[in-house]
Structure 1
Amino acid sequence: MPKMWTNSGDSHFLEPDDVWDARLPKALAELTPKSQKDPDGEWETVSVDGQTFRRKLPTSAAVQFIEESHKPQGVRDPVARLADLDKEGVWGEVIFPSLGMWASTFRTPELLKACMRASNEYARDELAPVSKRYVVTGQVSTLDVDDAVSEIEWLAENGFKSVFLPTTPHPSAPDWHRKEWEPFWEICEKSGIVPAFHIGTDPVDMTSGGAGQVFRGPGGAVMNYTETTFSGQRAAMKLVASGALDRHPDLKILISEGGATWIPFLGDRLLEGYRQHHMAVRPKLTRDPKEILMTQVYASFQHDETAVAANEAMGYKNVMFGSDYPHMEGTFGHTQKTLEGLFAHAKPETVERITQGVFYELFPDVPPVPESTDAIQG
């Protein structure tokens, strides 16, 4: 069968281990995350920003899965990455950082601001120039709103088209629905930068086991994985209900890896709440909240069988495929098989919209898939 080409609203890159240390003054570099494993390999001691704690390492089975998922050379080599994408039939892609997961553990604004700038300079100098197919997300500190505003201005000046945001800001900062973030959304709208919220990025208490450790006991693995999806829904809810998206009608946001079918349901709940409790609703919106959600919020999925139906049967047209390269939850190694199964009974216009149209609506600067894609890279 001919290859079915798609764009991806979700992928990841592993930066060099010293991307922060090599670019920061020594006094700040010493405060960046460091870890030392116990001789038995079961625990590690982590120090970050003057804090030290211990955490249990993943089981051997989990480590094996992680190592398998990171086998592609392209996870660390942006040039080799193009060959991986060509093999999978993925053209353009949104690329999220990896070190950004540490952001919520920092407590010194100066340090986090410096780390974010170092990551952004690396992305600008080493990733983005490799290919116009890459939409490399910038990063901002959410420890201090003023620092975030300053950095989003820098990102706009340096040609970034998207910014990675955690689904909940740093615990010391105002939440996304608060008025303090208004200048940030204004700059994003004016410059055409897409705020891209990636699920599973809520602030975590590393002393309790780290990211993903919410439930223990029977069903814990499935519950922990499922739990990560809810944070993206909450982020979208906050920006709709607070009026942030209503005040900025040209602002588009992306919720990555959280599926898509939840959008129509959440829209129904927001609309019902707005209608049935109108006497208590503040602020008043110029459009109904479901319309705002369905038109300004974009959502990527990888395997969800219901995502196509969200487009065809539920009227949600901003469904976008995402490969989640190279994570174990993603489609690397079987992207074509996944696409064939997802779109086996879909209308041609649905396939085009989910694999191509939505992506180009957000990122029109990415070149279109050439008519002949044989051995094309760059």
Structure 2
Amino acid sequence: MDATEAPPAFPKIISVDDHTVEPPHVWRDRLPSKYQDIGPRIVRAPVKSMSFVGGKFAPEMGAPGHDGPIADWWVYEDLHRPLTRLDTAVGHTRDEIRLEGITYEQMRPGSFSVPERLADMDVNHVQSALCFPTFPRFCGQTFTEAKDRELALLSVRAYNDWMVEEWCGPQAHGRLIPLTLIPLWDPELAATEVRRNAARGVRAVCFSEIPPHLGLPSIHTDHWDPFLRACDETGTVVAMHIGSSSKMPSTSPDAPPAVGSTITFANCCFSMVDWLMSGAFDRFPNLRIMYAEGQVGWIPYILERADVVWEENRAWGGVADKVLRPPSELFADHVYGCFFDDAFGLRNLDAIGVENVLYETDYPHSDSTWPKSREVGESQMGHLAPEVVERVVRGNAIDLLGLTGEGLWRAGV
């Protein structure tokens, strides 16, 4: 580049990991009337206590008249889950972000309102965004744990209808990309839901990084084959967010949250090895998976180690007859890592693969780089060629999620 020539503009970001805080009407407006009193609904009540220690979130709702701080709570069957400042932390200084209950009026409107979300995306140089859920948890664990399976299935479908028709509806102008849930307790129902949503243009579905942590079979069985076959045949990406096993990494029951926050990538690491050694990619050659908020700097060593184990130990390691190629080759064809702040990973991008890395902003969580995601990207990607930056920041997401060339989602495509 000539000394007088301006550097290329940083590409408009396509974030593959943001979050929506569901507005109060999502299930109220979509469930049959007989479920209004037990389906998901918002109740304003005091917080008696709340803790997050050893990777476990433990809130307790106060009785009427309790003098604790007031919060909006999702109530569903026996579950009481408050909205918290960690759900929607953007716009607050780091020292203001504490584990506390909040109301909708106390959160940034872009957390739950489409017009305000688009405005906050504009501030952050973000063109399009894929959003994970909040109340259902990252892969719908809330409904998987419910007693009433009929209500749970209706709740999953209601969420998906809201996601496709309202959150990603006409007012989003193609800038919000749908990400749907499945009924995790039944792989045949899950396959049906994947196909139902794929028919209206959805190309990403939530799944658990480590299903046995949820009391479900592992991916080393054939239990998930109907679901995986549906994803393979419809081009639906399996999206796994850190914590989608309901068990965040920690070292001890009394470890402070800072320990788990430092090692959040660990579940992605364990999960990726599971998938690479499962044989799933040989059975389903079009299947693709992505890890949201796992960062990418750890990936090169894991691939190196996995290849060594496959080469040296596959006979006694139980994978000789089902993992037919080196794990690093499987990774290149099937796996995507996602990051929002990973200078080390970007310095080692060649060891990961330019085509296998996606950018994210994590809005509106406390880790989010909003409103400076462009500045963070520019500072960490300055050593990369413009075409590589374009790939990482938006091109890979366009290809993976079947977006238009302009990076927008089109219903029914």
Instruction: Name the counterpart of 1:86.
Output: 122
Contact 1:132 1:366 in 2 (8 A): no
- The answer for the alignment partner of 1:159 in structure 2 is 201
TM-aligned CA deviation for residue 160 of structure 1: 0.9
| 1:182 aligned to which of 225, 229, 242 | 225
The answer as to 2:309 corresponding to 1:273 is yes
When the two structures are superposed, what TM-score results if normalisation uses the length of structure 2?
0.77
Give me the whole-angstrom Cα distance separating, in 2, the residues matched to 1:104 and 1:214. 26
**Aligned equivalent of 1:202, options 239, 242, 245:** 245
> Is contact 2:144-2:152 (8 Å) kept?
no
Q: In 2 relative to 1, CA 38–259 (structure 1 residues): closer, same or farther, beyond 3 Å?
A: same
Identity of aligned residues (%): 25
Paired with 1:214 and 1:20, the residues of 2 have a C-alpha distance of 37
CA shift, 1:104, in A, is 4.8
Tell me how far apart the structure 2 counterparts of residues 215 and 66 of structure 1 sit (CA, whole Å).
28
Q: Which amino acid in 2 is paired with 1:265?
A: Y
Instruction: Name the SS for the 1:10 alignment partner.
Output: strand
| Corresponding residue number in structure 2 for 1:76 | 112
Structure 2 alignment gaps of length 5 or more: 1-6, 51-58, 62-72, 87-95, 409-413
In structure 2, how many angstroms separate the alpha carbons of the residues matched to 1:125 and 1:58? Answer: 27
Q: CA deviation at 1:276?
A: 2.0
Separation (CA, whole Å) in 2 of partners of 1:233 and 1:269: 12
How far does residue 114 in structure 1 lie from its aligned partner after superposition?
1.4
Task: Name the residue aligned to 2:257.
Answer: 221
In 2: Cα distance, 1:82 partner to 1:58 partner: 21
- Structure 1 residue 355 corresponds to structure 2 residue 393: yes
Q: Which amino acid aligns with 2:239?
A: A
Matches within 5 A, 1:46-195: 50-51=77-78, 62-63=98-99, 71-101=107-137, 102-129=142-169, 130-169=172-211, 171-195=214-238
Unpaired runs of at least 5, structure 1: 205-210, 371-378
Q: Is the 8 A contact 1:240 1:293 kept in 2?
A: yes
2:297 equivalent among 236, 253, 261: 261
User: Which secondary structure state, in structure 2, belongs to the residue aligned with residue 138 of structure 1?
Assistant: coil
Q: Which moved more, 1:29-38 or 1:79-88?
A: 29-38
Letter in 1 for 2:194: I
Measured in 2, the distance between the counterparts of 1:313 and 1:220 equals: 33
| Equivalent in the alignment of 1:235 | 271
Q: Following TM superposition, by how much is the alpha carbon of 1:312 offset from its aligned partner in structure 2, in angstroms?
A: 3.1
Do 2:188 and 2:226's aligned partners in 1 also have CA atoms closer than 8 Å?
no
Give the structure with the larger helix fraction. Answer: 1
Q: State how many pairs are aligned.
A: 362
Which residue of structure 1 aligns with residue 25 of structure 2?
A: 18
- 1:44 is matched with 60
Calculate the aligned-residue CA RMSD, in Å: 3.3
Asked if structure 2 preserves the Cα contact closer than 8 Å seen for 1:260 and 1:310, the reply is no
Q: How far apart in 2 are the matches of 1:314 and 1:188? A: 24
Give the superposition deviation at 1:39: 6.4
CA deviation vs aligned residue, 1:24-46 (integer Å, no higher than 9, x gap): 23454433456674465665238
d(CA) in 1 for partners of 2:260, 2:12: 32
- How far did 1:162 drift? 0.7
